[in-house]
Amino acid sequence: MSIYRLAVVAVIISASGAVEAHAGNSVSVLQFGTTNVSFVSQTGTTTNNSVALQFGTSNQASTMQAGAISPLTINTSVIGQGGTTNIASSGQVGGSNSGLIGQIGLSNAAGVSQLGLLNGSTILQSAP
């Protein structure tokens, strides 16, 4: 009976060691100040989520997210900026990529680059 229990315990330990846990990456940045600079780089095989909000005279935010097309990696990037000069860029590689950049300021520049199976991006810019 004890050999049977030992075999069952060994099988359970072997099975639990073979299971691979995949955790996603998530980051949030909130900046208030005269000059705000943010750079986020994420690499993961399941999900990469990034939110950067900047409020100041000069704002610069960049996001780079790298995943896999197969198995499907989901990348989500949101950049919001309010100030006189706003510069934002987002680069994404993965199975599903979504990007949103919103800017309110006198001088706004934004760019999104995506490589994947399903890509969607929106850039909203407004001058006061």
User: What is the rounded CA–CA span in Å between residue 109 and residue 107?
Assistant: 7
**pLDDT given for residue 128 in this prediction:** 80
User: What is the rounded CA–CA span in Å between residue 86 and residue 1?
Assistant: 71
Residue 9 forms part of a structural domain: no
Residue with tokens 């097309």: 69
Domain tally for the chain? 1
Residue 90 forms part of a structural domain: yes
Side chain identity, residue 74: I
Residue 29 forms part of a structural domain: yes
Q: Residue 121 contacts by C-beta under 8 Å, 6 or more apart in sequence?
A: 90, 97, 98, 99, 100, 101, 112, 114
**pLDDT given for residue 106 in this prediction:** 97
Residue with tokens 């990456």: 25
**pLDDT given for residue 108 in this prediction:** 98
Residue 45 forms part of a structural domain: yes
Residue 19 forms part of a structural domain: no
Please identify every stretch of the chain with a pLDDT value under 50, giving residue numbers as ranges: 1, 4-21
Residue 112 forms part of a structural domain: yes
Residue 11 forms part of a structural domain: no
Domain with 107, as residue range(s), is 25-126
pTM listed for this prediction: 0.82
User: What is the rounded CA–CA span in Å between residue 76 and residue 96?
Assistant: 8
**pLDDT given for residue 22 in this prediction:** 57
The DSSP symbol for 67 reads -
